[in-house]
Amino acid sequence: MRTSIIGYPRIGALRELKFASENYFKGRFSIDELIRTGTDLRAAHWRIQRENGITFIPSNDFSFYDGVLDTACLFNIVPERYRALGLGELETYFAMARGYQGEQGDVKALSMKKWFNTNYHYMVPEIDDATTIQLAGTKPFDEFAEAKELGIATKPVLIGAFTLLKLAKYTGAKQAVDFVQATAKAYAAALAKLGGLGAEWIQIDEPILVTDLSEADVALFKKLYSAILADKGSANILLQTYFGDVRDGYVELQALPFDGIGIDFIEGKRSLDLIRQFGFSDKKTLFAGVLNGKNVWRNRYANAIALVQELRSHTGQIVLSSSCSLLHVPYSTKGETKLPEENTRHLAFAEEKLRELAELREILTNDVPVASPLYQENERLFGASRFTGNAALQARTAALTEADFARLPAFAERAIAQKAKFNLPPLPTTTIGSFPQTAEVRANRSAFKKGSITEERYKQFNREQIAACIARQETVGLDVLVHGEYERNDMVEYFGECLDGFLFTEQAWVQSYGTRCVKPPIIWGDISRSKPITVEYSTYAKSLTDKPVKGMLTGPVTILNWSFPREDIGLKDSAYQIALAIRDEVLDLERSGIEIIQIDEAALREKLPLRRSDWQSEYLSWAIPAFRLVHAGVRPETQIHTHMCYSQFSDIIRDIDAMDADVISFEASRSDLAIIDAINGCGFRTEVGPGVYDIHSPRIPTAGEIKQGLYRMLDKIDAGKLWVNPDCGLKTRGETETWASLRHMVQATLEVRESL
């Protein structure tokens, strides 16, 4: 039996590529040093796969920034404004990735989007009417040859033509269909060249096939591949899908002359049914994604083996594969020196997943797989209990009723009580929570973490920051104040550390985009809160002012979406556990006199399923209630705020309203304000604070432009419902620009209020 993986992480086990790239961007590394880092990493990654006996080792899965951008460059999709800079090839590539400001000109980066249902982000290729799609680069050929030099025959990987054309942005009159011929020709040329170099198999990734496809989409797909495969040459072509099932194109896939089809049996809910119903061509090889490429847990061999045995009754040629690229998991549990073996033996990062594929292969060579010692050892691992469950919590979750999710009285009545209580001016001003994290703020936290200062000193420093921040917010004239979040680095990390049930890693980094990596905590057990988390700082801040101070929490869906979830219970169950913990915090804040509480759901949209038909049933039906569970127990006059980082929620606007917060703030200064129309159109109840200026840039907005923005909002939104705030937290900004911007924001608001 053969084994395959779809892709390997590339940032480096110690994030070597990140640091080399950043050094290069800062001018501390030469381009050659950066290139050498890439070469070394590729060699290391190929070798480790060879050591684990992987049959189909990918090449061209490496990237200096992003694989979609690599593909765009390979096929000459480089907008003129980048070419015009007259830079070298790699420099032009980085200009597209990050923007360029220098002697050769000034251009912004291409836009960036979330890669399907992952936390990875790709650069959006931009195609205009003058774009000539043709084979222009050499990266896949070079990397194939490089591996060959090392004695390793690889399976080159290309992001497919259909996915590329579907993800691209068209800035002219031409659309995807207008580029079919040229694209097909360019891909055919790449395949022929790889075949000529000796590639036996070539993997073409088409993850877009797992999304909802229209008939026109399927027609486009068929047209592209009929042309690409018309004269396909010597190499075998594997059409690889992942992140779901291919229900809308399964029959067409079988009919086209691919030599192999890669199918995801982990996230592809209907994958097995499709094979049962339509069979699998005996002329093709099935690359069966049986090993979860996204999660960090050991594979339960019993399930994988049972699946493969059923697949064997449908088709003869099966390759064991990961369900998606291993890009989405960290490198190796070997990097976790602080986690005990009783934890790590349940974890499988990329390297351990290679080992698991090898073990599955070995088990399957047995006549009686279940008799294999490896199989039995794995069953023992899963048979033993991993942790002691929290019986009290389980009883509490089981006893939840509708009433626990329903805040009373209804919004309109609460709104009246709150208006009377807070007596805020129209268009109240506030911020999203965090204030600039200066070097001293970070140094204080890290000194405390390292144990080089006492807890008392650490807290005293934070109290001083809070006092200064409150005083300045008062001087600037904001209406609802915050404590500033000086104790938090990443908010999910912060709450994870304060709750029971999470595991923290040292080196378990995952690439989010470019050189940016995240280290999501692992949800290990039942989540609970053993003591108040934020009460001390919030009440301290409140004691310093007569103005209302918002308590600041992160919501359950965001905590869950930015962690590695458990596999032994569902997402809904984990979300409810986290919700109960945060609910206790909300009630403690309320009891301590905090009258406004913001519960951030920055990542609410993140795990929205790829198929619209799954939005409610698989996600919103528990994600929205989880949020309500957090705040449903508060008194009518306690005002609940929430915050979302993006305003792309026109399509789930009713669900956002059903969160039943009293106020929602969101990013709006960079978007086209379609959201304001959506809010206006649907009778949205929740009061809104669309961000009035962009916090992603150091630029200080003028009072005049903020004023204009406010008037535009007032055209659509009732003045009694509008709040004034920046787009998001201010922690990444500098001090000077922050306070100047807030002064302008308040000034603009005062002027607009006068005119109401």
Interface ranges with ligand GLN (CB under 6 A): 432-434, 485, 491, 552, 600, 602, 643, 645, 728-729, 731
Candidates 232, 227, 237; CA nearest to 177 is: 227
Minimum distance between the CB of residue 235 and Zn ion, rounded to whole angstroms? 46
Binding to Zn ion in span 711-750, by CB under 5 A = 728
| Residue 241 backbone class (left: φ over 0; alpha: ψ -120 to 50; beta: rest) | beta
Q: Using the rule CB under 5 A, which residue among 608, 645, 675, 679 binds Zn ion?
A: 645
Amino acid identity at 355: R
In the complex with ligand GLN, the residue whose CB is nearer, 619 or 666, is: 666
Minimum distance between the CB of residue 46 and ligand GLN, rounded to whole angstroms? 37
Minimum distance between the CB of residue 495 and ligand GLN, rounded to whole angstroms? 11
In the complex with ligand GLN, the residue whose CB is nearer, 139 or 607, is: 607
584 binds, among ligand GLN, Zn ion, none (CB under 5 to 8 A by kind): none
Minimum distance between the CB of residue 607 and ligand GLN, rounded to whole angstroms? 16
Minimum distance between the CB of residue 468 and ligand GLN, rounded to whole angstroms? 17
Q: Per-residue DSSP letters for 628-689?
A: HHHHTTS-TTSEEEEEES----GGGHHHHHTT--SEEEE--TTS-SHHHHHHHHTT--SEEE
Candidates 268, 347, 357; CA nearest to 319 is: 357
Structure tokens at 429: 């001003």
266 binds, among Zn ion, ligand GLN, none (CB under 5 to 8 A by kind): none
Nearest-Å Rg of the Cα atoms of the chain is 27
600 binds, among Zn ion, ligand GLN, none (CB under 5 to 8 A by kind): ligand GLN
552 binds, among Zn ion, ligand GLN, none (CB under 5 to 8 A by kind): ligand GLN
Binding to Zn ion in span 578-617, by CB under 5 A = 602
| Piece of 187-195, 440-448, 641-649, 738-746 that binds Zn ion (CB under 5 A) | 641-649
d(CA 756, CA 752): 7
Burial 703-741 (b: 16+ CB within 10 A, else e): beebbebbeebeeebeeebbbbbbbbbbbebeeebbbeb
In the complex with Zn ion, the residue whose CB is nearer, 557 or 728, is: 728
Known active-site residue 696: yes
433 binds, among Zn ion, ligand GLN, none (CB under 5 to 8 A by kind): ligand GLN
In the complex with ligand GLN, the residue whose CB is nearer, 360 or 552, is: 552
* Beta-sheet strands, E only, within 413-571: 500-503, 510-513, 516-518, 522-528, 550-554
The catalytic position among 314, 631, 696, 744 is: 696
731 binds, among ligand GLN, Zn ion, none (CB under 5 to 8 A by kind): ligand GLN
Minimum distance between the CB of residue 730 and ligand GLN, rounded to whole angstroms? 7
In the complex with ligand GLN, the residue whose CB is nearer, 290 or 602, is: 602
| Piece of 155-163, 195-203, 404-412, 645-653 that binds Zn ion (CB under 5 A) | 645-653
In the complex with Zn ion, the residue whose CB is nearer, 333 or 725, is: 725
Torsion angle (degrees, nearest 10) of CA 596, 597, 602, 606: -120
d(CA 42, CA 39): 5
Minimum distance between the CB of residue 645 and Zn ion, rounded to whole angstroms? 3
In the complex with Zn ion, the residue whose CB is nearer, 69 or 602, is: 602
553 in contact with Zn ion (CB under 5 A): no
Q: β-strands 522-528, 500-503: how paired?
A: antiparallel
Burial 345-384 (b: 16+ CB within 10 A, else e): ebbbbbbbbbebbbbbbbbbeeeebeebebbeebeeebee
* Beta-sheet strands, E only, within 176-222: 201-205
692 in contact with Zn ion (CB under 5 A): no
Q: Per-residue DSSP letters for 36-71?
A: HHHHHHHHHHHHHHHHTT-SB-EES---SS-HHHHH
Q: Which sequence positions are flagged as catalytic?
A: 696
Where do contacts with Zn ion occur on this chain (CB under 5 A)?
A: 602, 645, 728
